A and B are shown apart, each in its own frame.
Chain A
Amino acid sequence: MAKILMKGNEAIGAAAIKAGCKYFFGYPITPQNELPEYMARELPKVGGVFLQAESEVAAINMVYGAAGAGARVMTSSSSPGIALKQEGISYIAGAELPCVIVNIVRGGPGLGGIQPAQSDYYQSTRGGGNGDYRTVVYAPATLQETVDLVMEAFDVADQYRIPVMVVGDGMIGQMMEPVEFKEPKKRDLPAKDWATDGTKGQRKPNIINSLFIDPKELEDHVWRLEEKYKVIKENEVRYETYNLEDADVVVVAYGTTSRVVKNAIAKCEAEGLKVGLIRPITLWPFPDEAFEKISDKTKGILTVEMSTGQMVDDVKIAINGRKPVYFYGRTGGMVPEPDAIVAEIKKIAGGER
């Protein structure tokens, strides 16, 4: 198929529909509005349903109902809206239902701003809602990668019965790039024989639930979820690395920040400095294994984020004290400049930090 030039938010909608998403429940918030608007236009054409909910809380609970009923369903929002959805995400994770949630991140806290940021890293990767649970979190860096991951997200959600989040910063939502819609790799997807779609008098009632009054039963459930998360960790970690073997400094960055970092790395290389890159594509599961490939000659690791430093915690856990970890970040919707990153890299390479 030929490449089409599309705006990020609309490309996400197109990818979801191509992946068989038939239901979308959302509530307006900048900078993701083109996505629900696209779904409102396009879903009815394929026999699907777009519904604008009265709030994010209602939207995610509509997703919960539709997912329980066996549908491929999606919602999207931006930071404060995702905060409201966390209650529902916890219930969906607890009841082990598949769905896809898109967060086009903007700056915070509170009402914050509407410019791109990465300050929802904790919110995405630490659960956000109550209880011991995880969601698979994808952080694409280009629109092509975004559509690939959105399409795959529905399969991953169905395979593991888990909510999958696709986290793009406002830049991913708003920019235009050429994209091509490709079938994701084939997976063996289990039948949805657990869905609440009516017994038709043919089977015992199905119950979608996350309540376990007996503490032992709840503990068993939580550990069973944990086992599932381990399997996901083994099979679904995604990352990109560059030049780890002989890097003086390794930079860790995800999403659009990684594109600025690549620019900075090219500038360093032009000056003869060897700089490596680890770009997590899954924020959860975090690509710990990539950090084992960092060579002994590396002087330090620089984490660059559009936040005051959130992923840097996971970087420190992954490197486990083997190398010093430094941080450079901009926040509030400010995007790091390549030159500023180059300056940080040079400080580490020159032993100034």
Chain B
Amino acid sequence: MAKVFEKTKGLTDKPFHYCPGCTHGIIHRLVAEVLEELGVLGKAIGVAPVGCSVFAYDYFNCDMHEAAHGRAPAVATGIKRVHPDSVVFTYQGDGDLASIGTAEIIHAAHRGEKITTIFVNNAIYGMTGGQMAPTTLVGQKATTAPYGRDENHAGRPLKVSEMLATIHGAKFVERVSVHNPANIRKAKKAIKKAFEVQLAGEGFAIVEVLSTCPTNWGLTPTEALKWLEENMLPYYPLGNFRTPEEVK
């Protein structure tokens, strides 16, 4: 019988620990498929964050380095400077990247560090139980914003892609979403481009992926996908913010 689908070699056989309906799993698969398709698994070195994807080092079938909360871009910098020919990526949540690790991500981008960052924006702190993230929407409830995020109290949600797109060293910046198959396909294309930018030695590349957290949003998996579409997309517009000419 003809084989129509095969699991990517970019992932190990370890079962994911993610909650049912969580889109972290889809994003893992996209990254893994891209690494396999580009033929770079043997020279890939991933940096796992602190957050729900903290065990990413068990899932990706390549060398992996765990980082402290927010520090993945600095760790990736150390690795990439030692092995400039390797393919280094960080996989980070929005608490990790947009809160405790803002300095590290901005300066990695600023240096034009030749790494690829997969930035999973689920508008909340998943792992620690649903606290407010810098990306939590205005009015969205979180355990530390029990009455909904108040703009006057906590500011407006941080638009990381727009911000990083102002930085010269950030050569590829795109926001994608994984709430339906068509967008999942687009997300994979963007992730592939982000790795190609690194392989071409262009500079820093980041893909912001809008993702769900059914558990902490208090929604079923399908409700969560709908919530993402209806609430996150209007505030976090999808699209490319920066592309070097070569990979356009």
Partner of B75, one of A65, A199, A210: A65
Beta-carbon contact of A58 and B44 below 8 Å: no
Partner of A23, one of B62, B63, B66, B78: B78
Interface string of B35-73 (1 = CB under 8 A from A): 000000111110100000010011011111111100100
Report the separation of the CA atoms of residues A60 and B80 in the bound assembly, to the nearest whole angstrom.
15
Q: Which residues of B contact A25 (CB under 8 A)?
A: 78
Ranked nearest first, the 10 interchain pairs of A and B with the lowest CB-CB distance are A65-B78, A61-B74, A66-B78, A65-B75, A62-B78, A54-B107, A196-B63, A201-B42, A61-B71, A69-B82
Report if B117 contacts A (CB, 8 A): no
Report if A44 contacts B (CB, 8 A): no
Chain B residues in contact with chain A, CB under 8 A? 12, 41-45, 47, 54, 57-58, 60-68, 71, 74-83, 86, 103-104, 106-107
Interface residues on A, range: 35 or more
Report the separation of the CA atoms of residues A337 and B96 in the bound assembly, to the nearest whole angstrom.
50
Report the separation of the CA atoms of residues A95 and B83 in the bound assembly, to the nearest whole angstrom.
20
Report if A131 contacts B (CB, 8 A): no
Partner of A198, one of B44, B61, B77: B44
Beta-carbon contact of B71 and A205 below 8 Å: no
Report if A209 contacts B (CB, 8 A): yes
Beta-carbon contact of A91 and B68 below 8 Å: yes
- Shortest Cβ gap from B71 to chain A (Å): 4
A-B contact pairs, 30 of them (CB 8 A): A23-B81, A49-B81, A49-B82, A51-B77, A53-B74, A57-B71, A57-B104, A58-B104, A58-B107, A61-B67, A62-B78, A62-B81, A65-B67, A65-B77, A65-B79, A65-B80, A66-B78, A68-B75, A69-B79, A73-B78, A196-B79, A197-B63, A198-B43, A199-B62, A205-B60, A206-B63, A206-B64, A207-B63, A208-B65, A209-B64
Report if A101 contacts B (CB, 8 A): no
Beta-carbon contact of A69 and B42 below 8 Å: no
Interface set, chain A 174-213, CB cutoff 8 A to B: 196-202, 205-211
Chain A residues in contact with chain B, CB under 8 A? 22-23, 25, 49, 51, 53-55, 57-59, 61-71, 73, 87-88, 91, 95, 196-202, 205-211
Beta-carbon contact of A70 and B75 below 8 Å: no
Q: Which residues of B contact A69 (CB under 8 A)?
A: 45, 65, 78-79, 82-83
Given A201-B41, A211-B54; A196-B65 close (CB under 8 Å) = yes
Report the separation of the CA atoms of residues A210 and B78 in the bound assembly, to the nearest whole angstrom.
17
Report the separation of the CA atoms of residues A199 and B39 in the bound assembly, to the nearest whole angstrom.
12
Starting from the known contacts A57-B71, A69-B82, A199-B42, 14 additional A-B residue pairs (CB-CB under 8 Å) come to: A23-B78, A54-B106, A58-B74, A58-B77, A64-B65, A64-B67, A65-B75, A196-B65, A197-B45, A199-B41, A200-B43, A205-B63, A207-B65, A208-B66
Q: Which residues of B contact A198 (CB under 8 A)?
A: 42-45, 62-63, 83, 86
Q: Which residues of B contact A49 (CB under 8 A)?
A: 81-82
Q: Which residues of A contact B74 (CB under 8 A)?
A: 53, 57-59, 61-62, 64-65
- Shortest Cβ gap from B118 to chain A (Å): 17
- Shortest Cβ gap from A327 to chain B (Å): 37
Report the separation of the CA atoms of residues A70 and B103 in the bound assembly, to the nearest whole angstrom.
25
Given A23-B82, A65-B76, A67-B78; A58-B64 close (CB under 8 Å) = no
Given A198-B43, A208-B64, A208-B65; A68-B77 close (CB under 8 Å) = no
Report the separation of the CA atoms of residues A62 and B67 in the bound assembly, to the nearest whole angstrom.
10
Partner of A200, one of B42, B57, B66: B42
- Shortest Cβ gap from B150 to chain A (Å): 30
Beta-carbon contact of A61 and B104 below 8 Å: yes
